[in-house]
Structure 1
Amino acid sequence: MSVVIVIPARFASSRYPGKPLALLKGASGQEKSLIRRSWEAAQAVSGVDRVVVATDDDRIRAAAEAFGAEVVMTSETCANGTERVAEALDVLGGEVEIAVNLQGDAPLTPAWFIEDLVAGLRDDPEADLATPVLRCDGQGLTALLDDRRAGRVGGTTAVFGAGNRALYFSKEVIPYTGQTYADGAPTPVFHHVGVYAYRPAALDAYRRLAPGPLEGLEGLEQLRFLEHGRPVLCVEVEARGRQFWELNNPTDVSRIEAMMAAMGLD
């Protein structure tokens, strides 16, 4: 039984075409592609047996193989990263206990986010999948609100109930709070970290579930599970002084580079 991290990467992003090959400068000024930084983040996770990049694009394949990644070619018909991870497992074969979807736009994902995620899914046998959530401080909440005010689709937020079962995910900032928070103060808003840990049976079932209206409206693949009543576990993770942000738009490049510089990450 093994844990496999799959990094789904496609070239034809509507908001940012070619995003996996975008270059990001680290603290020393060294440039690395987004897909490479995501792969390096996966390599730092303990307890993982295999890391693969799953793509349908030869440019991404060539770039990933050039820095030493194992690549699985998947079809162009995959509607999202979850479907691409499911197809990658078909190609890889073998016994897999847990498949982790580390989306290729999250190079700042700390190793312990994924380690805690895998542990959370193992401890909750009724959950189909697990995904991390990070409590926003005032500064993080302001960044999310600023994106929405500017009409940018930025980070995703999550709300969950008893047993940390997900209730909803949205690209709007939820739950509503009219309060003002200091930069380092905790808020009731949770930033959804775009990583998923699935049981293979749940991945297989996902492909047979029809996309629902909420998935279509929000553009969030995990809503397909919720719309069909499948249990999704939210695992709260700790920042431990690390800043986190995904690369959703071209304007996020400078934001992530500033975070890497501040944290001394190269």
Structure 2
Amino acid sequence: MRTAIIIPARFASSRFPGKPLTMIRCADGVQRPAISQSWAAARAAAAALPGDVACVIATDDDRIADACSALGMDVVMTPEACLNGTERCAAALAGLAEVPDLVVNLQGDAPLTPIAMVRAVVALAVARPDLALATAVMPATPAVLAHLQADAAAGRVGGTTAVCSRDGRALYFSKSIIPHIAPGSVPMAPVLLHVGLYAYRPAALAAYVAAGPAPLELQEGLEQLRFVDAGLAVGAAHCAAPAWDLIELNNPSDVPLIEAALARRAAVEPI
């Protein structure tokens, strides 16, 4: 099986412009662009997957392409018109030497993605060819839930949560904290944190592009909702929380939190 781990990266983020090139202090004490840690996570995951696995950065920005190339990363240029990372992954296929059997989208702003989660999502996609998309969810730890709540209280857009059916299908994703937990009530279901990690086959990517943007996708700012809106099956691999806080780089205030989590990760899963 041929797998391509594609890291979509764009400079013009509305919430945090230039975040792929934001300097963060890595576990060895050296400051590097944030995307270099996503690349390291992708390379570590590639070594743990079966078959032939390639890693590539997909971007439309020369600043990102030049920085990544200088650090030894493989880069594919994609059109500026790509609306999100999934469309960018679809566009990147034209720049690959071979069309892969499976595409893994590892977000450029998710440098803390565990290897085990990549393996779980790939395993789900391989086992369930009926799925258009396989992704990952995990129970939000108290620290991560508190981080989400702090972002919401401050009016910041933070991480993404999901609700799933009992058979493992994802029903909805939101930038709000779902499901609602009434004050003083006992939760019947955990808050599931959605991890920015996807696996799909090239045919599903083509169907996604052909479907065009969905209103819910645009309103929430969540690309995966286009699959849900189009009635395409989305499977969620339920993963255990890693030994470090899984925080995405969504806002400048996330940088010190990610730096601390990278140090904790290095103690249990060096990459």
User: In structure 1, what is the Cα distance between the partners aligned to 2:212 and 2:35?
Assistant: 30
* Alpha carbons 1:138, 1:187 under 8 Å: kept: no
Say whether residues 1:238 and 2:240 are aligned partners.
Answer: yes
* Alpha carbons 1:133, 1:236 under 8 Å: kept: yes
User: In structure 2, what is the Cα distance between the partners aligned to 1:262 and 1:206?
Assistant: 37
User: In structure 2, what is the Cα distance between the partners aligned to 1:2 and 1:99?
Assistant: 9
| Paired residue type of 1:122 | V
Match of 2:105 among 101, 105, 111: 101
* Alpha carbons 2:244, 2:264 under 8 Å: kept: no
Per-residue Cα deviation, 1:96-149 (whole angstroms, up to 9, x for no partner): 111001110000001111011100111112100101001112222111111111
* Alpha carbons 1:86, 1:203 under 8 Å: kept: yes
Indicate the percent of aligned positions where both proteins have the same amino acid: 50
Say whether residues 1:167 and 2:171 are aligned partners.
Answer: yes
Gaps spanning 5+ residues in structure 2: where? none
- Residues 180, 114 of structure 1: CA spacing in aligned structure 2 closer, same or farther, 3 A cutoff? farther
Report how many aligned residue pairs link the two structures. 263
User: In structure 1, what is the Cα distance between the partners aligned to 2:100 and 2:255?
Assistant: 34
Structure 1 position 93, deviation (Å): 4.9
Say whether residues 1:7 and 2:7 are aligned partners.
Answer: yes
* Alpha carbons 1:135, 1:187 under 8 Å: kept: no
- Alignment TM-score, normalising by the size of structure 1: 0.94
- Residues 144, 42 of structure 1: CA spacing in aligned structure 2 closer, same or farther, 3 A cutoff? same
* Alpha carbons 1:157, 1:170 under 8 Å: kept: yes
Structure 1 position 198, deviation (Å): 0.6
Stretch deviating more after TM superposition (21-30 or 230-239):
21-30
Query: Counterpart of 1:21?
Result: 21
Which stretches of structure 1, 4 residues or more, deviate above 4 A after TM superposition?
none
Per-residue Cα deviation, 1:154-186 (whole angstroms, up to 9, x for no partner): 0000101032111000000000113679xxxx9
Per-residue Cα deviation, 1:49-106 (whole angstroms, up to 9, x for no partner): 1000001111111111111111001111101000000000122152411100111000
| Paired residue type of 1:196 | Y
User: In structure 2, what is the Cα distance between the partners aligned to 1:28 and 1:5?
Assistant: 25
Query: Counterpart of 1:200?
Result: 202
User: In structure 1, what is the Cα distance between the partners aligned to 2:17 and 2:140?
Assistant: 29
Gaps spanning 5+ residues in structure 1: where? none
Alignment map for 1:74-223 (pairs within 5 Å): 74-178=78-182, 188-223=190-225
Per-residue Cα deviation, 1:9-65 (whole angstroms, up to 9, x for no partner): 111111111111001112342111111111001000122510000011111111111
Structure 1 position 255, deviation (Å): 1.2
| Paired residue type of 1:216 | L
User: In structure 2, what is the Cα distance between the partners aligned to 1:254 and 1:241?
Assistant: 17
Query: Counterpart of 2:57?
Result: 53
User: In structure 1, what is the Cα distance between the partners aligned to 2:257 and 2:184?
Assistant: 23
Stretch deviating more after TM superposition (37-46 or 137-146):
137-146
Alpha carbon RMSD of aligned pairs, Å?
1.9
